[in-house]
A and B are shown apart, each in its own frame.
Chain A
Amino acid sequence: MRDVAVIGVGMTQFGELWGKSIKDIFVEAALKAIKSAGVDHIDSMYVGSMSSGLFVGQEHLGAVLVDYLGQNPIPATRVESACASGGAAFRAAYFEVASGASEIVLAGGVEKMTDGADVTDALATAADQEYEVYQGVTFPGLYAMIANAHMHQYKTTREQLAAIAVKNHANGANNPNAQFRNLVTLEQVMSSTLVADPLRLLDCSPVSDGGAAVILCSMDIAKKFTDTIVKVKGTAQASDTIALHSRKSLTTLNSVVSAAQKVYKMADVTPKDINFAEVHDCFTIAEAVVYEDLGFCEKGCGGPAAEEGRTAIEGKTPINTSGGLKSKGHPVGASGIAQIIELYEQLTGQAGKRQVKNAHIGLAQNMGGTGASCVINILEAV
């Protein structure tokens, strides 16, 4: 396979975009990405969306969006892997370019969550409908059960989880596209409304609208279009049981461990080589567990790492410099692509006040459900 580059990115503001439809949101992000890359056409596109059918009653999303983007008759496919749809769409685009089948491919993601659907019910479709959701469990509930088990097994504290939300809001405050640009305090997180004990409102990523898109092309021709190029150094995906209860451990996400092993091998790096990462902090506990399972620290140290500032922008391994899902927002299908955009901006020195010093290699970890699917991509500055 040949080397692949990311040559342009674009995203909408994340938030409650009442005046914009799913088509408007995607097209805005895609046009920005195409303009940023300096290309005059795309050969193909993939769009990640978790549940456009439930959120806005629209399936056949590839066809809808390529039509409104004015790019007919190029092939366009919607990719779905729940909350990892964006990461999976990026991976599909990567392979299409790496294989030589296409030269310039758009990888996008979009979700429109505020058009009136029962969001809790729609998100719950990422879990086992008959054996988890039937009992009334919600996504905050599933992650709350991971949190309780983690607190029991590793003595992770409520304060440590809150520190993750505080850190991510501090980062998001410097991200102009973030849904929440306000700072929060430890006390505010720990006194916010209980959603599913021990998780509170400020432990949870929000309901968001948003779109994101990136342009990939072969490394051979990248320089023809732009000087701001990032190399795709590795990509991997892995799966785990759909139901949380079927796993041997409730505190280790095996899809993350497995995808990490594969992507580190492909990129020929170790966790120590990763300068910063965007991880799937749908809930604060998720960031703690994923940080451990990516090999950035021993099991059980995810909480202390945040509390001690090791994951802050000036820390040893900055995590979620964009604000993460928590502060930037979580329009589900767009999140995996927005992670790639943060990597691109950091690796090309365009992250402004969020800029990580010496950002050379970045990792984006995107997962579906309680980690039944996980996609990890590693990008490198050129």
Chain B
Amino acid sequence: MITPRYHREIPQRYRLEAGKCQKCGEVSFPPRLVCPNCKSQEFETVRLNDEGKLLTYTIIRVASDKFFGTTPFAVGIVELNDGVKLTTQIADVDFDQLKIGQKVKLVFRKIQDEGKSGLHCYGYKAVLV
């Protein structure tokens, strides 16, 4: 992942910035240029609520080369309290504790290292509440 590409996503990955449609109120994460609900193109930047619940999950036992050495790890789809859904790793968890409906919150963590330079790449992961 080259640096400009990483840099562009920092507001979302570090600060959970989303776009709230000025017309219908739909919150898009990441922000979009067109509201998927009402097609409006006017947004304000909002920060997501960092707590929510687990809608589904899996344990990745076989990963791409980029994540070699980090398996097994848990990944889930989380619905935050403001209704936004996202895919995230679930950190610091005993896999037996995972269940659908579990309360979680998002925390700031290292996600991966960039291939050639080894640059640390950060973002959010979920932990059980």
Contacts and interface: CB of A to CB of B under 8 A. Distances in A.
Contacts of B19: none
A152 B86 contact: no
Interface string B72-88: 01011100000001111
B119 interface: no
A144 B58 contact: yes
Interface in A120-160: 120-121, 124, 130-138, 140-141, 144-146, 148-149, 152
Nearest to A197: B59
Nearest to B124: A135
Interface in B73-112: 73, 75-77, 85-89, 95, 100, 111-112
Contacts of A121: 64-66
A250 B55 contact: yes
B24 to A, nearest CB: 15
A220 interface: no
Interface stretch (A30-38, A239-247, A299-307, A346-354): A239-247
A245 B9 contact: no
Main secondary structure of the interface of B (DSSP, over half): strand
Given A136-B111, A137-B87, A195 B56 contact: no
Interface in B1-59: 9, 30, 36, 55-59
Given A118-B65, A250-B55, A136 B30 contact: no
Given A124-B64, A135-B75, A194-B61, A149 B111 contact: no
Nearest to A148: B56
A135 B111 contact: yes
Q: Which 3 A-B pairs have the closest CB atoms?
A: A144-B58, A121-B64, A149-B56
Interface of B: 9, 30, 36, 55-67, 70, 73, 75-77, 85-89, 95, 100, 111-112, 121, 123, 125
Interface of A: 118, 120-121, 124, 130-138, 140-141, 144-146, 148-149, 152, 193-199, 241, 243-246, 250
28 contacts: A120-B62, A120-B65, A121-B64, A121-B65, A133-B64, A134-B112, A134-B123, A135-B88, A135-B111, A136-B60, A136-B89, A136-B111, A138-B62, A138-B63, A138-B64, A141-B60, A145-B56, A145-B77, A146-B56, A148-B57, A152-B56, A194-B59, A196-B59, A197-B61, A199-B58, A241-B36, A245-B85, A245-B86
Given A137-B87, A195-B61, A196-B61, 16 more contacts: A118-B64, A124-B64, A131-B87, A132-B87, A135-B89, A137-B75, A138-B63, A140-B60, A145-B57, A145-B76, A148-B56, A148-B100, A149-B100, A193-B61, A197-B61, A245-B86
